[in-house]
């Protein structure tokens, strides 16, 4: 065991959205910070790590997915659904999926950059439907931080004055693509609203350090111009440049160490490179390892004072784990056959979206969902050309064949697909949780998580509604539906728990220490100098992607830490 | 006869190759030539990934006969008599060999598919697929290239041919030749400023003025963003 001589003001565990923000804000406030990341240093601008602007033939598998890059060979995320030497287990009847990143910046390197503020209703859902619990804070508490995140990080979008999809300090959005114009027309005819998307991509310069979007559609490969939000490029590099941050890469945190009085003194880690134990000392610890990994660290931090794990006197660590719901459908748009070919890469992902539009409607499920629109003339990679002329079926022509005629088919149908993906809110359940598996350790000897998670009727009914909506909108857009509509035997195409990678809620905040893990600032009820700055503190997650709220809350928690230190409470 | 063919193949494969070209042959026809693909790649890999790819390139899965059969099929599916080149110009046999090794679920369908094809060719014309003449080969392809054919005897062949068509097209359209054939113009830094007006007009669509007014003015993209207190962009 080696011990670094330094005693840091704060040790931040995890370098994703929450950890990056905490590191940036605490360093900005003058604190000495240790940032601990289980994976390597990463910068998409370095040619040795860059996957952006690669052509498919630069990969021998043409961008096909692998176990090491499940979202494709050019995807930026180092990690995936399975990690060598780091298993997790599931209870009988649970199909939980868990994506873990092992790199500086974590999962912010490849996410969709969809940046949606939670609205006022999203913090008080119990008041509306009687299910789950309210957050102890409301939109008015978080709004100042959303405002600051908008300006610091940059997000395009539009102020529409919607009641539960708040306005922001937006950069202007890009113009819609052709298939999105068909969607807009279809949605309008169906009476469903559609607006410019909201994404943390710089359509306009926000400072002299970062670049401006050059419309390559490859945000999932991480931007070498730093023109989209990744925790590393936007938060961690500037924090490191302050000289007040030491980054411990390839360092995996085993547990938080505590003194006999119960407060944290630092973290015990393992250096993954040489398998040596390492101890880092700190006056405070900020856990931002992702909701489930943070819960795992807390549960593994057992001491005489914290017999069931740190912060777990309530037994709530790992409880109320919940992920977004998801379902998707696609259609063939005959009007987009034989289209003019031009560069329409645009930004990564959609330029337009539909936020939840049925708030207050009488439905057989409680919470809403939004629609993400896909399609267009993307860059071919592995899989392009599969079932190349299957749409001929809809034209009464024969599918199959061989020879140069296939070229005409490929060109004819290129970019003629329109797809919709739904992302919805699930209802948090005490009975959906992760816990330590007493029988299994990972290769570092750290007990692993076991997941127990099932969807309820709420989510299944919501997925059914999603399917009906997608059919209606795709047809209204002029589409011929592809594939079968999934029915009850497949839970209406509902994604598996964890699959949307929006897992939140394992260390939820609350005013009552008996039913929550942290207070409204992310501070553990059981240890005043330990904080959670990832999505573990979410009481409920809304039908919004969680990143913008993680950033806002991590900034808020960091301000609270600075304030408490100034008041000598820490 | 079988021995002879393998001997021929072996000598062809051992013969000095032109730079950047791979050659294999079958007993009754001319040697099959294709563009050899690189075996070294550098595109932001981790050490674990580099190791995995080294192992894949070192692994030998297909026999020479299987590889030649793949080449002949790829060539039928996307022939080279085209200005943008065909499957062999795009190095398809090398790609198919790699991707099949990389994706375990492809191994059996391709190996078994080739064996089915040979068995069918022997029964129909008395020799393996690559050792019958071209009209005979095409007559077999005509029977298995169309998934709507219901003859139960042909179903394994139809599945296999569909798989080979998928692999051939995906392997071709992910090369420079394929990009030219498709006309793909992206993957370059540019400034997106909407669908070209004439394209919108051809589709009978137009941007809504209110929507357009909110979109980025690309002439001001490099001016640093500022806002007033009411969240209005002021730059």
Total domain count, chain A: 2
Quickly list H helices, B88-154: 92-102, 104-125, 134-144
- Type and span of the H or E element at A420: strand A417-424
Q: CA of B76, closest CA in chain A: separation in Å? A: 6
- Percent helix, strand, coil in chain B, to 5, is 55, 5, 40
Q: Is A129 helix (H, G, I), strand (E, B) or coil?
A: helix
Whether B79 sits inside 8 A of A403 (CB atoms) is yes
Whether B78 sits inside 8 A of A404 (CB atoms) is yes
Q: CA of B5, closest CA in chain A: separation in Å? A: 27
Phi, psi (deg, nearest 5) at residue A385: 95, -10
Q: CA of A252, closest CA in chain B: separation in Å? A: 18
Residue in A with minimal Cα distance to B232: A169
Percent share of chain A, pLDDT over 70: 100
Residue in A with minimal Cα distance to B198: A340
Are A437 and A450 within 8 A, CB to CB? yes
Q: Given pLDDT bands bounded at 50, 70 and 90, which one contains residue B26?
A: low
Confidence (pLDDT) at B84: 97
- Give the pair of three-digit tokens for residue A37: 């990341």
Same domain, A437 and A521: yes
Confidence (pLDDT) at B30: 62
Residue in B with minimal Cα distance to A340: B199
Substitution target from B138, B216, B234 for chain A, most A beta carbons within 10 A: B216
* CA atoms of A454 and A78, how far apart (whole Å): 28
Same domain, A112 and A22: yes
CB contact B139 to A (< 8 Å): no
* CA atoms of A142 and A148, how far apart (whole Å): 10
pLDDT tens for residues A140-190?
999 999 999 999 999 999 999 999 999 999 999 999 999 999 999 999 999
Phi, psi (deg, nearest 5) at residue A12: -105, 125
In a domain, B79, yes or no: yes
pLDDT tens for residues A284-307?
999 999 999 999 999 999 999 999
Whether A62 sits inside 8 A of B95 (CB atoms) is yes
Whether B187 sits inside 8 A of A379 (CB atoms) is yes
In a domain, B220, yes or no: no
Q: Which residue has the higher pLDDT, A241 or A2?
A: A241
In a domain, B232, yes or no: no
Same domain, A147 and A92: yes
Contacts of B192 in chain A (CB under 8 A): 174-175, 215, 343-347
The CA angle A180-A182-A185, to the nearest 5 degrees, is: 110
Are A347 and A203 within 8 A, CB to CB? yes
Please report the ipTM that was assigned to this predicted complex. Answer: 0.95
Same domain, A445 and A330: no
pLDDT tens for residues A394-429?
999 999 999 999 999 999 999 999 999 999 999 999
* CA atoms of A349 and A345, how far apart (whole Å): 9
Find, among B46, B173, B187, B191, the residue nearest to A218 by Cα.
B187
What is the domain-level CATH number for residue A478? 3.30.410
Are A239 and A23 within 8 A, CB to CB? yes
Q: Given pLDDT bands bounded at 50, 70 and 90, which one contains residue B23?
A: low
In a domain, A62, yes or no: no
The CA angle A462-A466-A468, to the nearest 5 degrees, is: 120
* CA atoms of A284 and A268, how far apart (whole Å): 14
Whether B183 sits inside 8 A of A341 (CB atoms) is yes
Total domain count, chain B: 1
Find, among A143, A112, A131, the residue nearest to A218 by Cα.
A112
Q: How high is the mean pLDDT of chain A?
A: 97
The dihedral sign for the CA sequence B169, B174, B175, B177: positive
Same domain, A29 and A106: yes
Is residue A101 scored above 60 in pLDDT?
yes
* CA atoms of B212 and A68, how far apart (whole Å): 42
* Domain membership of residue B178 as a residue range: 2-182
Whether B186 sits inside 8 A of A54 (CB atoms) is no
Confidence (pLDDT) at B19: 42
Q: Is A246 helix (H, G, I), strand (E, B) or coil?
A: strand
Average pLDDT over residues A232-236: 97
* CA atoms of B233 and A502, how far apart (whole Å): 31
In a domain, A407, yes or no: no
Confidence (pLDDT) at A5: 83
Q: CA of A67, closest CA in chain B: separation in Å? A: 10
Is residue A261 scored above 80 in pLDDT?
yes
Q: Given pLDDT bands bounded at 50, 70 and 90, which one contains residue B2?
A: very low
Residue in A with minimal Cα distance to B100: A61
C-alpha torsion angle, residues A256, A260, A262, A264 (rounded to 10): -40
Whether B205 sits inside 8 A of A74 (CB atoms) is no
pLDDT tens for residues A514-549?
999 999 999 999 999 999 999 999 999 999 999 999
Q: CA of B42, closest CA in chain A: separation in Å? A: 7
CB contact B217 to A (< 8 Å): yes
Sheet strands side by side (includes A285-287): A245-248, A33-36, A10-13, A285-287, A530-532
Same domain, A222 and A333: yes
Residue in B with minimal Cα distance to A47: B44
Instruction: Report the interhelical angle of B104-125 vs B64-77 (nearest 10°).
Output: 80
Same domain, A277 and A246: yes
In a domain, A386, yes or no: no
* CA atoms of A496 and A510, how far apart (whole Å): 28
In a domain, B202, yes or no: no
Confidence (pLDDT) at A203: 98
Average pLDDT over residues A238-253: 98
* Domain membership of residue A470 as a residue range: 162-228+326-378+415-424+456-493
What is the domain-level CATH number for residue A435? 3.50.50.60
Are B169 and A401 within 8 A, CB to CB? no
Contacts of B194 in chain A (CB under 8 A): 174-176
Confidence (pLDDT) at A243: 98
Q: Given pLDDT bands bounded at 50, 70 and 90, which one contains residue B25?
A: low
Same domain, A197 and A340: yes
Is residue B11 scored above 70 in pLDDT?
no
* Interface size, chain A vs chain B, as Cβ–Cβ contacts under 8 Å: 259
Confidence (pLDDT) at A2: 72
Whether B216 sits inside 8 A of A387 (CB atoms) is no
Name the B residues in 72-111 with CB < 8 Å from any A CB. Answer: 76-79, 81-82, 84, 95, 98-99, 102-103
Q: Given pLDDT bands bounded at 50, 70 and 90, which one contains residue A3?
A: confident
In a domain, B89, yes or no: yes
Confidence (pLDDT) at A1: 62
């Amino acid at each position: 065991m080696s011990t670094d001589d330094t005693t840091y003001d704060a040790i931040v565990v995890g370098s994703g959205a929450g950890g990056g923000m905490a590191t940036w804000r605490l360093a900005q406030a003058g604190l000495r910070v240790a940032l601990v990341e289980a994976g390597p240093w990463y910068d998409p601008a370095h040619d040795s790590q860059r996957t952006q602007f690669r052509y498919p033939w630069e990969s021998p598998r043409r961008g096909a997915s692998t176990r090491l890059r499940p979202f494709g060979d050019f995807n930026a995320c180092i990690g995936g659904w399975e990690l060598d030497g780091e298993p997790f287990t599931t209870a009988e009847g649970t199909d939980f999926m868990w994506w873990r990143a092992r790199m500086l910046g974590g999962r912010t390197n490849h996410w969709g950059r969809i940046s949606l503020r939670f609205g006022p209703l999203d913090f008080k859902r119990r008041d509306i439907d009687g299910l789950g619990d309210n957050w102890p804070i409301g939109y008015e508490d978080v709004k100042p931080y959303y405002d600051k995140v908008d300006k610091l990080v940059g997000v395009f979008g539009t102020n529409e004055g919607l009641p539960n999809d708040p306005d922001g300090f937006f950069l202007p959005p890009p113009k819609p693509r052709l298939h999105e114009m068909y969607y807009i027309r279809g949605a309008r005819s169906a009476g469903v609203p559609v607006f410019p998307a909201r994404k943390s991509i710089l359509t306009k310069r926000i400072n002299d350090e970062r670049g401006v979007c050059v419309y390559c559609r490859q945000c999932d490969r991480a931007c070498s111009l730093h023109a989209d939000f990744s925790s590393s490029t936007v938060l961690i590099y500037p924090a490191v440049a302050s000289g007040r941050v030491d980054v411990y890469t390839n360092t995996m945190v085993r547990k938080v160490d505590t003194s006999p009085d119960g407060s944290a003194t630092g973290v015990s880690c393992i250096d993954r490179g040489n398998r040596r134990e390492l101890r880092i000392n700190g006056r405070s610890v900020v856990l931002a390892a992702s909701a489930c990994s943070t819960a795992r660290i807390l549960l593994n931090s057992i001491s005489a004072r914290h017999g069931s794990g740190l912060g777990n006197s309530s037994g709530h660590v790992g409880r109320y784990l919940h992920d977004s719901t998801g379902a998707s459908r696609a259609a063939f748009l005959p009007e987009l056959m034989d289209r003019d070919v031009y560069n329409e890469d645009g930004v990564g992902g959609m330029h337009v979206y539909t936020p939840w539009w049925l708030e207050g409607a009488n439905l057989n499920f409680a919470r809403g969902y939004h629609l993400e629109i896909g399609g267009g003339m993307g860059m071919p990679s592995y899989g392009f050309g599969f079932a190349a002329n299957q749409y001929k079926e809809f034209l009464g022509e024969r599918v199959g064949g061989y020879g140069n005629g296939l070229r005409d088919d490929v060109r004819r149908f290129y970019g003629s697909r329109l797809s919709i993906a739904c992302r919805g809110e699930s209802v948090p359940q005490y009975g959906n949780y992760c816990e330590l598996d007493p029988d299994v350790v990972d290769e570092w000897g750290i007990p692993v998580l076991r997941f127990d998670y099932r969807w309820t009727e709420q989510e299944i009914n919501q997925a059914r509604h999603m399917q009906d909506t997608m059919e209606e909108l795709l047809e209204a857009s002029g589409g011929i539906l592809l594939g079968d509509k999934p029915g009850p035997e497949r839970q209406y195409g509902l994604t598996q728990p964890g699959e949307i990678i929006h897992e939140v809620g394992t260390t939820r905040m609350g005013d009552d220490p008996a039913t929550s893990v942290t207070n409204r600032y992310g501070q553990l009820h059981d240890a005043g100098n330990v904080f959670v700055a990832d999505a573990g503190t979410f009481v409920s997650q809304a039908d919004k992607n969680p990143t913008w709220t993680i950033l806002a809350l991590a900034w808020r928690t960091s301000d609270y830490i600075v304030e408490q230190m100034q008041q000598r409470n820490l | 006869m079988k021995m002879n063919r393998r001997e021929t193949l072996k000598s062809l494969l051992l013969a000095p190759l032109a730079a950047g070209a791979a050659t294999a042959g079958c007993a009754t026809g001319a040697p099959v030539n294709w563009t050899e693909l690189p075996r070294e790649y550098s595109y932001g890999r981790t050490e674990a990934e580099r190791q995995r790819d080294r192992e894949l390139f070192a692994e030998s899965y297909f026999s020479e006969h299987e590889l030649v059969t793949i080449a002949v099929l790829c060539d039928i599916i996307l022939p080279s008599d085209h200005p943008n080149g065909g499957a062999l110009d795009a190095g398809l046999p090398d790609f198919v060999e790699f991707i099949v090794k990389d994706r375990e679920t492809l191994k059996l369908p391709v190996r078994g598919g080739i064996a089915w094809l040979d068995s069918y060719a022997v029964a129909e014309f008395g020799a393996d697929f690559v050792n019958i003449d071209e009209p005979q080969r095409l007559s077999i392809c005509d029977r298995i290239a169309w998934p709507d054919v219901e003859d139960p005897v042909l179903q394994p062949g139809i599945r296999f041919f569909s798989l080979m068509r998928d692999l051939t097209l995906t392997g071709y359209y992910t090369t420079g030749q394929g990009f030219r054939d498709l006309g793909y113009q992206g993957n370059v830094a540019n400034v997106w400023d909407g669908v070209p007006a004439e394209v919108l007009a051809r589709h009978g669509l137009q941007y809504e003025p209110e929507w357009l007014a909110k979109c980025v003015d690309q002439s001001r993209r490099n001016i640093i963003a500022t806002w007033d207190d009411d969240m209005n962009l002021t730059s």
